[in-house]
Structure 1
Amino acid sequence: MNIYSKSLPALVCLVFLMLVTGNSLAATTGAEKPSLAVLIDIAGKQRMLSQKIAKAYFFHGQGIRRDKTRKQLFDSIKEFDRNYEVIRNSVDNQGVQDMLVYIGMAKDELAALAKQPYSKENAALVLDYSETMLEGSQDIVSRLEEMSKLKKEAIVNLAGRQRMLTQRIAKYYIAYQAGFRDHNTVEQLKKAVKEFEEAHAALRKARQNTPEINKELANVERLWKVVAKFYKDVERGGLPVIVLATTDDIMATMNRITHQYVNILGS
């Protein structure tokens, strides 16, 4: 047997490997970027996570459902980081990229604070960083919406923002109970409650609604009636476990509704 016949099997294997690797690389580099509706959903979810992280920090610091809220805190930080990378790698817009740098500094500071023992001083910083992350994430959502010629993705923004408002309401509710009883805390809470109720009324009338979406929105309404009175009477306080559980249920329902709107736009 000559040298060529001996080397033929190895050569065949090498060619096969190159073809497989090449196809794999082509699939990776040729992968389609998320649609605009999906990106608006992801960026909108960042708004929610910015508030959810701070909310979980406060609930955990106050000793309320410590195992659950600790997991929620660190899971939310990880999810925010993952979404951050998706947006960074998917959106070719200088304004968005500049805003991501701004958000990145705030998220890293907040993540570092989450690992430290709870204190009122740290909690005040968490509130500040969560507001920075929210403001930056909202700016990105607005920029993405501007890229849409038909503006049909606005319904995704509206529904997705409800997720954020549930966590923002719970954040300011528990912050008040934790001793942040200034005028701004009460006003921000009341403003978020008002915005949630107005947006919910608009969603109930949306022409894109399917029977399933209407059913889910009715469920949100039922849950909202349970906790709205606590938000609107924050000075009285009490029942933080009910507030935590019900607010998270509303958020999860709004998340499903938002994804249904995304699917409608993609069909």
Structure 2
Amino acid sequence: MNNLNKTLWILLVCAAAFLFAGTAFAKAEQSVDSGNDNLANLIDIAGKQRMLSQKIAKAYFFYGKGIRRDKTHKQLLDSIREFDQNFEIIRKSTNNPAIQDMLVFIEMAKDELAQLAKQPYNKENASLVLDYSETMLEGSQDIVSRLEEESKLKKEAIVDLAGRQRMLTQRIAKYYIAYQAGFRDHNTIDQLKTAVKEFEQAQAVLLKAKRNTPEIKNKLKKVEKLWHVVAKFYKDVERGGLPVIVLATTDDIMATMNQVTHQYAELLGS
């Protein structure tokens, strides 16, 4: 092999090595990005579990009180089913020992709650439903926090804030209807008032957010109008009143805030 051929051969080998390294690096980058995407999706699923824990209990009380029984019974069963599906996704998607331990704890509560949903409504069962829904909420929040610690993604506060509003709508409605069902202790009133205060404070922040697009602004204004319809019932829970309007309006607020949350996430991802 003459010197020219040797030189060409070396150049070809170097080029091939460079190309291979570049391909490998690209694949590694794709793998990291894919891992982050999967973890971000898992965080979103775990976040929804917080909302579902409250929605299940809320639907149980509305159904037990005989309010829109067809709708609330379907909502109860659908929410339990969705919680179970999300639970399995989380269980199979992480090897974190602390999360796996927490899932065992949540599983006991969710299975007990699912059994209670099949039994006739009474105050004793309803009291257990309240307790189990709190356990599921706390456990789901713990999982969200642990997944965020694992993630190298920078979660923007505005997405978390909007996402938490979904849970608060269901929590507020849960304690409102629980009070109407006879749970008139100080804890019920305190939890309701705290959730209402947190919702209003968060909404005020969201309305002033610089990232708001015209579409997001319109949706937040819609939430404000709906909130004015039901807020007076929550703040004067002792008087009660119009549970059908409370149910429909609260669910409408939740659905709208779900859309807003996804729109914030899309903005930050673009």
Asked whether the two chains share a fold, i.e. TM above 0.5, the reply is: yes
| Residue equivalent to 2:145 | 142
Instruction: Kindly state the Cα deviation for residue 150 of structure 1 after the two structures are TM-superposed.
Output: 5.4
| Residue equivalent to 2:189 | 186
Note the 1:126-205 alignment, pairs <5 A. Answer: 126-149=129-152, 151-205=154-208
- In the alignment, does 2:254 pair up with 1:244? no
Instruction: Kindly state the Cα deviation for residue 40 of structure 1 after the two structures are TM-superposed.
Output: 2.4
Q: CA RMSD in A?
A: 1.6
| Residue equivalent to 1:51 | 54
Larger deviation, residues 122-131 vs 156-165: 156-165
The structure 2 residue matched to 1:91, chosen from 79, 91, 94, is 94
Instruction: Kindly state the Cα deviation for residue 42 of structure 1 after the two structures are TM-superposed.
Output: 1.4
Note the 1:91-110 alignment, pairs <5 A. Answer: 91-110=94-113
Structure 2 gap segments, 5+ residues each:
1-30
Would the alpha carbon gap of residues 258 and 37 (structure 1) be closer, same or farther in structure 2, given more than 3 Å must change? farther
| Amino acid in structure 1 at the alignment position of 2:242 | L
The TM-score with structure 1 as length reference comes to 0.84
Note the 1:10-29 alignment, pairs <5 A. Answer: none
- State how far apart, in whole Å, the 1-side matches of 2:153 and 2:72 are: 40
- In the alignment, does 2:73 pair up with 1:70? yes
Instruction: Kindly state the Cα deviation for residue 37 of structure 1 after the two structures are TM-superposed.
Output: 3.3
| Amino acid in structure 2 at the alignment position of 1:260 | Q
- In the alignment, does 2:114 pair up with 1:111? yes
Instruction: Kindly state the Cα deviation for residue 73 of structure 1 after the two structures are TM-superposed.
Output: 0.1
| Residue equivalent to 1:22 | none
- State how far apart, in whole Å, the 1-side matches of 2:236 and 2:187 are: 15
Instruction: Kindly state the Cα deviation for residue 222 of structure 1 after the two structures are TM-superposed.
Output: 1.0
> How far does the alpha carbon of each residue in 1:47-80 deviate from its partner, in whole angstroms, 9 at most, with x for none?
1100000000000000000000000000000000
- State how far apart, in whole Å, the 2-side matches of 1:246 and 1:56 are: 14
Instruction: Kindly state the Cα deviation for residue 161 of structure 1 after the two structures are TM-superposed.
Output: 0.9
Would the alpha carbon gap of residues 48 and 94 (structure 1) be closer, same or farther in structure 2, given more than 3 Å must change? same
Percent identity between matched residues is 80
- In the alignment, does 2:255 pair up with 1:234? no
The structure 2 residue matched to 1:124, chosen from 122, 127, 143, is 127
Aligned residues: 237
Structure 1 gap segments, 5+ residues each:
1-29
Would the alpha carbon gap of residues 203 and 148 (structure 1) be closer, same or farther in structure 2, given more than 3 Å must change? farther
Instruction: Kindly state the Cα deviation for residue 144 of structure 1 after the two structures are TM-superposed.
Output: 2.2
Q: Secondary structure at the match of 1:35?
A: helix
- State how far apart, in whole Å, the 1-side matches of 2:211 and 2:43 are: 17
> How far does the alpha carbon of each residue in 1:182-212 deviate from its partner, in whole angstroms, 9 at most, with x for none?
0000000000000001111122233332222
Instruction: Kindly state the Cα deviation for residue 140 of structure 1 after the two structures are TM-superposed.
Output: 1.2
Please say if residues 145 and 154 of structure 1, whose CA atoms lie closer than 8 Å, have aligned partners that are also in contact.
Answer: no
> How far does the alpha carbon of each residue in 1:210-241 deviate from its partner, in whole angstroms, 9 at most, with x for none?
22212111111111011001000000001100
